[in-house]
Structure 1
Amino acid sequence: MMMDFVVLDLETANADLSSICQVGIASFSQGQHYSSWESLVNPEDYFDPVNVSIHGIDEEKVCSSPTLGEIYPQIMSLLCGNIVVSHTPFDRIALRRACGKQELSPIECKWLDSARVVRRTWDCFTHSGYGLRNVAAYLDIEYAAHNALEDARCAGEILLRAISKSGISADQWLIRSAQPVRLPGSLSQYEPRPDGLLFGEVLVLTGTLSMMTRHEAASIAARAGCVVAEGVTKHTTLLVVGDQDVRRLAGHEKSAKHRKVEELILRGQPIRILTENDFRAAIVDEATEVSAARGAKV
């Protein structure tokens, strides 16, 4: 059934974005929340204690749950042909990586990043603070974080508010969200690009990167809008862990930066841990899609 738009949110078992352990899908039609669907998923992978502390899902809770392949026909029926919304690119990348890993057919749909919509609708979120929790509080939207269906519903409600405020439809936002953020002044090549996919993120690298040098990774991240920092602080929002080190993450030999990030996450700081492959997918692959969308104007 065709919807105005459908919102997807995922939770993962560990730092590998393909380790999906929960799926939440909220459908919106005629400006209202129309229906919901959710499922726990057995990722057939290990659960990192840090991820468990965030969403409360562990091996015991998913032991009798279906695998992603078993519920994939249902997911396809809800997403196929629709505008599919995710808040930041990570959920769509997680679905893409999980589908590639399990050799599942890609879903034909149009993706819309609601975080990019937020940054272009409310000036107070242009630079930072456009996570679901902050925006929901600002718009007085009731929200309980880190449940896939709740996250999906909240992102959909935020998009409805943005559509109402801007007068730009979901279809038109597919184009507008790919256009640069209008910021005054000029930026040098050494500063984060304000129209980058990940503008506002503060990124730290740790571990041995297998496919690029740290200099190359930092350059790519800056072009995508990230501030690249040497150390982990209260401002850190992304930690990129070299794939060679991720293979040891089942419990041991994590770097000092990695351990510090986990401590901050346990204290409530919203930091996302990415593998090197997921970092490349988030920045390099997604940039291709945005470039294709640019050229048209709303």
Structure 2
Amino acid sequence: MLHTRRSLIQGALASLALGGVARAAGTAAVAAKELSFLVVGDWGDGQSPTTAAAVAKAMGTIGAQNAISFVISTGDNFYESGVESTSDKKWRTNFEEVYNAPSLQVPWYAVLGNHDYGGSISAQIDYSKKSRRWTMPDRYFAVSKEFGGASADFFFLDTQRMKGDTLLEIVSHLDAELQLRWLDRALGESQAPWKIVIGHHPVFSGGRHGDSELLGKRLKPILDRHGVAMYLCGHDHHLEALRSEQVAYFVSGSGSRSRPPHPHAKSLFASATPGFLLVKLTPAGGTASFYSQDAALLYSQPLIL
């Protein structure tokens, strides 16, 4: 879909006027005493079906063992260039038929990655109306969950529009400002003890793409100021846990492709193993654990409020 400069700017301003965001449906209270969910990124790769299938099978196993409530996708949902429509065959071959385990038939809250921008963004948003699982009400949105007398607020960003690449350069600065203003306001209003932010691009990473200068300057201070517990991302094709100030940073970007990471001063763990992240939250704390494509535990760390 082609956009004019005027339509893009008008759309962005309209989004701010409406509060800057859609709020995903299906955020009713959960009776469980803890909240468990999986995080996988850079997974929609029809050229690596064996690896993607192995990761999906392991996700199904770990998901069943931990009674997960949902899955978070950190972007690059469909290689090499997104999907063209809500009827694109990639929905079936790269998503529905791959992530078919019973435990994965839960909401999938997804953000957009750079490869997704090669196709139709509206198709990924509109597929939410066709699918029982796929949940992307807008380019950025918020979801709230309640469990065990506690709550968690999740804020999903479109970090690709903050990068200002190629055709997006004409609105990059405006859109980044709109999103950051919304996030700053929404985090300030949140009363949830658990505040979690999700984007495709890392703030910190030992991977090939490395740290993001823009996100480090503009996003990190917001995370620090509002006591965000963790930032979840993909983009770099590995698994990594990092920490800066009081925020835990997790890179989960090896859902179908993997590359060796480099040493990073803030890194606590890093691996090129294909896999995903399991997060378990309770009113008092939690854990974040990386698992491999064989459902083997690679690393686990406590999460402290």
TM-score, normalization: structure 2? 0.30
Bigger helix fraction? 1
Bigger strand fraction? 2
Higher relative contact order (CA 8 A, sep 6+): 2
